[in-house]
Amino acid sequence: MSRRRRNRRRSPWWTKLCLIAGLVLMITSTGVYAGTVAVADKVNNSVAQDDLLGDGDNRNTQHDSRVTGPIDMLMAGSDMRKSWKSSGELPRTDSIMWLHIPASLDHAYLLSIPRDLEVTIPVDKRTGKGGETTKINAAFPNGMKDVNDIKGGMQELHTTVQQLTGAHFNMAALVNWDGFKAIVAELGGVTLCVDKTFTSTQPSLGHHTFQKGCHHYNADLALALVRERYAYSDSDYGRQRMQQQFIKQILKRATSAGVLTNPTKINSVIGAAGKALTTDLNGYKVVDLVLALRKISPDKITTLQIAHTTLADGNEGVVQPLDDQLFQALRTDKVDDLLLSHPELVSKGEGTGKSAG
């Protein structure tokens, strides 16, 4: 199979630990469930935990309920599908984000790291793979011994992103493709906006035409829209903006009145999210973490994109960062100062779609 064909097949979507934040926030904000030990235990036990960062000692240290910042979380969306369990094909993480929450725990920055970013992937000691300069989305499979080894994949991705950014990640989250559809289905769909009419390149829905404006989409259409890359004039950057928009919109949906007032719906969504998500919360419980982040509403999440140039690599774009200013600003909590002189780093809008027909 050619490299180009393989990359098309793996065109991503994105998902989010932010969904879990919304779910737990809605539980704690409704009189039906607030404060009950049973619900807290359900949330904590629904979300799988593993040593995704390779620092098992920290993960096994249980903290008290007081969460302290800053928090730097590596978030990744895997294109793993159930069918790959039998085929043995290794997934990639075409969606990679850095969630930075300052020590104040009252706002957040969400940086998308392009899947085409050209980096040197370190050699993985467990698998012996790596050591080459290539696209960053190859790091995850390089760390996997087999199709079930998501821990190894995330650890290699962590090493690669840490080498690139200089960040000290103390938490991580991985979401899979199958779980994404279940989450959106349980929420009854999600509203997303595009700024031009375009026909999707995703074949699963017969190349659906998405109309300009904001519309409510079911799970299948939302998946196709958030995975779309070729319909945007700036390719993966348009898709990153859609992924970031999706995070905010699904948070709003998860905390909407229609979900908040329905205990059965709450249970269903928590169950779907738990199946989709694997986390490394550095020893904290899910409920304690999200309660600490309760001041962070969707409008307090600033979405960012790295400064970049795009180089030709046949028909595939290869992205290189221009400098380390944004990474340094995130590491030192000086993002607002940087954005005053570089407002273009704020990711805005839905992307520019090619007009249909």
Give tens-digit pLDDT for 32-78. 344 455 556 766 777 788 999 998 755 556 666 788 889 999 998 87
- Judging by DSSP bridges, how do beta strands 108-113 and 198-199 pair with one another? unpaired
**Percent of the chain whose predicted confidence (pLDDT) is above 70:** 68
More confident residue, 263 or 144: 144
- Judging by DSSP bridges, how do beta strands 209-210 and 171-176 pair with one another? unpaired
Q: Provide the pLDDT for residue 314.
A: 42
Q: What mean pLDDT do residues 294-313 have?
A: 73
* Candidate from 157-166, 284-293, 297-306, 307-316 with smallest mean pLDDT: 307-316
For the cut 90, the answer to whether the pLDDT of residue 93 exceeds it is: no
Residues in the chain: 357
Q: Provide the pLDDT for residue 351.
A: 43
Q: Provide the pLDDT for residue 278.
A: 87
More confident residue, 318 or 176: 176
| Average pLDDT, rounded, for the chain | 76
For the cut 80, the answer to whether the pLDDT of residue 130 exceeds it is: yes
For the cut 70, the answer to whether the pLDDT of residue 259 exceeds it is: no
How is 275-342 classified by DSSP, letter by letter? HHEEEE-TT--HHHHHHHTTT--GGGEEEEE--EEEEEETTEEEEEES-SHHHHHHHHT-HHHHHHH-
The full set of domains in the chain, from first to last, is: 12-345 (3.40.630.190)
Q: What mean pLDDT do residues 114-124 have?
A: 90
Q: Map tokens 């036990």 to a residue.
A: 45
Q: What mean pLDDT do residues 134-161 have?
A: 94
Q: Which of 49-53, 186-190, 207-211, 219-223 has the highest mean pLDDT?
A: 49-53
Q: Provide the pLDDT for residue 243.
A: 77
Q: Provide the pLDDT for residue 3.
A: 38
Angstrom distance (rounded) from CA 354 to CA 199: 8
Angstrom distance (rounded) from CA 244 to CA 179: 18
Q: Provide the pLDDT for residue 138.
A: 92
Angstrom distance (rounded) from CA 153 to CA 280: 13
Q: Provide the pLDDT for residue 87.
A: 67
According to DSSP, residue 350 is labeled S
More confident residue, 42 or 159: 159
**Percent of the chain whose predicted confidence (pLDDT) is above 90:** 27
Q: Provide the pLDDT for residue 235.
A: 59
Q: Give Cβ neighbours of residue 112 (< 8 Å, ≥ 6 apart).
A: 95, 96, 97, 240, 243, 244, 303, 304, 305, 306, 347
Q: Is the pTM of this model over 0.85?
A: no
Q: Are 151 and 86 in contact (CB under 8 A)?
A: no
